[in-house]
C-alpha cells in the first residue's frame, strides 16, 4: 500500500498499513515479533607481543571488548530487571564468530604507552527470556503482565488485524515502565515514515503503565486506509535511555521520512549514549527492545 495525504475535516491523514507486538483487542492469536538486547559501551585491550603483528593485536583487543560487553550485559540484565529466566543468545565470542554480540560502532584508540592496543566499542548483546516451568511462553504471556521490575517490555496493538478502505487506524503502546520510543511505519512500497517522535511530540518519552496512542490528541495527522492495499510493518524501538539520533526528511504535518534501509535505521537507533551509573556493578549499559505488529488492508 502506498502512502497518500488525505484531507479529513481539515486535518491531514496518513494512509497506512502496519505490524507490531503482543496480542491486543480483537487480535486473537496475533504473533509476537520482539527482540531484546542490552547496549554496552566497552573498552578492549590487548598487549603488544613479538609473536603477533599489530593487526593481530588489534583483533585481540576487539575480541576482548566483545567479551567485556557479554559479561557486562549478563550482569546488567540480572541487576536491572530482577529476573533470572533469561539466556544470552550465545556465550561464544572469538575472532571468527560474533556469538550474541553485534558491533554497532568501533573506534581505534591505537597503541598506548608502547605496550597495548586500545579499542572502544558500542556493542549489542541479544538475549531472550527462557520458557517458564509451566511450558513455553505464549505470545500473550511473553508481553503482558510484566512488572516494572521485569525486563523492558512494550505492548503494541491496533483494534484489529485487517482494515477496509477508508477506515482509520490507531496504534496503541504500553510499557511496563518509562521508556523512549521511536515508532515507524514501513509501508508496502518500502517507505519508512516516523510517526513518533513528531513535531508535536518531539521527545518520544512515554510513561510506563499508561496506554499511549498514535496518532494522539496532540498530533495533527490521522491514519486512514486507501488503495493500493497490502501489508505494512509498524516497528517500535524502545529503550530506557534516549535513542540514537537519526537523519530524517520532513514530509509535512509534523511527520518525517527515513531515506535509508530499515536495517540502517535499526543500527542508528541503537546509537544510545549510555553513561556509567554510580555504584552500578555493570558499568555502562542500556536496555533495548524492538517490537512489531502486522495488519493488512483491503477494499
- The average confidence (pLDDT) of the chain is 79
pLDDT in tens, 15-55: 433 222 333 444 433 455 889 899 999 999 999 999 999 99
Place of cell 481539515: 10
Phi-psi domain of 84 (left: phi exceeds 0; alpha: psi -120 through 50; beta: other): alpha
Q: For position 131, what pLDDT does the model report? A: 57
Does residue 274 carry a pLDDT above 50?
yes
When pLDDT is averaged across residues 7-11 and rounded to a whole number, the result is 29
C-alpha cell recorded at residue 61: 583487543
pLDDT in tens, 51-72: 999 999 999 999 999 999 988 8
Does residue 148 carry a pLDDT above 90?
no
Q: For position 167, what pLDDT does the model report? A: 92
Domain boundary assignment for the chain: 5-35+136-298, 38-129
When pLDDT is averaged across residues 246-250 and rounded to a whole number, the result is 96
What are the beta bridge partners of residue 177?
Answer: none
Q: For position 13, what pLDDT does the model report? A: 37
CATH code, 5-35+136-298: 2.60.40.2550
**Burial (Cβ within 10 Å: 0-12, 13-18, ≥19) of residue 276:** exposed
CB 72 within 8 A of CB 284: yes
CA 132 remoteness from chain centre: 24
For the chain, give me the number of helices (H) and strands (E)? 3, 18
Does residue 139 carry a pLDDT above 50?
no
Distances (CA, A) of 222 to 72, 196, 258, 298: 43, 13, 19, 18
CB 41 within 8 A of CB 284: yes
171-180 CB burial, b ≥16 within 10 A, e <16: bbbbbbbebb
Place of cell 495488519: 295
Higher pLDDT, 261 or 140: 261
What one-character DSSP code corresponds to residue 149?
T
Torsion sign over Cα 96, 102, 104, 107: negative
Q: By three-state DSSP, how is residue 251 classified? A: strand
Given this structure, which CATH class describes domain 38-129? Answer: alpha beta
Q: For position 82, what pLDDT does the model report? A: 58
Does residue 79 carry a pLDDT above 90?
no
pLDDT in tens, 151-192: 889 999 998 989 999 999 999 999 999 999 999 998 878 899
Does residue 7 carry a pLDDT above 60?
no
Q: How confident is the model at residue 275 (pLDDT cuts 50, 70, 90)?
A: low
Q: How confident is the model at residue 111 (pLDDT cuts 50, 70, 90)?
A: very high
Percent of the chain with pLDDT over 90: 52
State how far the Cα of 161 lies from the Cα of 295, in Å rounded to an integer: 5
State how far the Cα of 96 lies from the Cα of 103, in Å rounded to an integer: 14
**Where do runs of H (alpha helix) occur along 158-284?**
262-269
Amino acid at each position: 500500500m502506498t502512502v497518500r495525504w488525505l484531507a479529513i475535516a481539515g486535518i491531514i491523514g496518513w494512509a497506512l498499513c502496519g505490524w507490531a507486538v503482543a496480542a491486543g483487542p480483537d487480535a486473537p492469536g496475533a504473533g509476537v515479533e520482539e527482540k531484546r538486547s542490552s547496549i554496552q559501551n566497552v573498552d578492549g585491550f590487548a598487549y603488544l607481543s613479538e609473536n603477533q603483528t599489530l593487526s593481530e593485536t588489534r583483533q585481540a583487543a576487539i575480541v576482548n571488548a566483545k567479551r567485556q560487553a557479554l559479561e557486562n550485559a549478563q550482569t546488567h540484565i540480572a541487576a536491572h530487571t530482577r529476573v533470572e529466566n533469561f539466556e544470552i543468545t550465545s556465550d561464544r565470542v572469538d575472532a571468527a564468530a560474533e556469538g550474541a554480540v553485534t558491533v554497532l560502532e568501533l573506534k581505534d584508540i591505537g597503541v598506548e604507552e608502547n605496550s597495548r592496543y586500545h579499542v572502544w566499542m558500542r556493542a549489542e548483546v541479544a538475549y531472550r527470556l527462557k520458557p517458564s516451568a509451566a511450558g513455553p511462553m505464549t505470545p500473550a504471556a511473553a508481553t503482558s503482565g510484566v512488572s516494572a521490575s521485569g525486563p523492558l517490555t512494550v505492548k503494541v496493538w491496533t483494534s484489529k488485524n485487517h482494515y477496509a478502505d477508508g477506515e482509520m487506524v490507531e496504534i496503541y503502546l504500553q510499557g511496563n515502565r518509562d521508556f523512549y520510543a521511536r515508532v515507524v511505519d514501513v509501508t508496502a512500497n518500502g517507505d519508512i515514515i516516523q510517526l513518533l517522535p513528531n513535531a508535536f511530540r518531539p521527545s518520544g518519552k512515554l510513561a510506563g503503565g499508561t496506554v499511549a496512542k498514535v496518532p494522539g490528541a496532540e498530533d495533527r495527522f490521522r491514519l486512514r486506509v486507501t488503495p493500493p492495499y497490502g501489508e505494512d510493518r509498524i516497528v517500535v524501538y524502545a529503550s530506557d535511555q534516549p535513542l540514537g539520533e537519526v537523519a530524517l526528511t520532513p514530509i509535512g504535518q509534523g511527520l518525517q521520512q527515513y531515506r535509508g534501509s530499515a536495517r540502517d535505521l535499526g543500527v542508528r537507533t541503537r546509537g544510545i549514549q549510555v553513561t556509567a551509573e554510580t555504584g552500578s556493578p555493570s558499568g555502562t549499559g542500556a536496555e533495548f527492545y524492538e517490537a512489531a505488529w502486522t495488519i493488512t488492508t483491503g477494499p
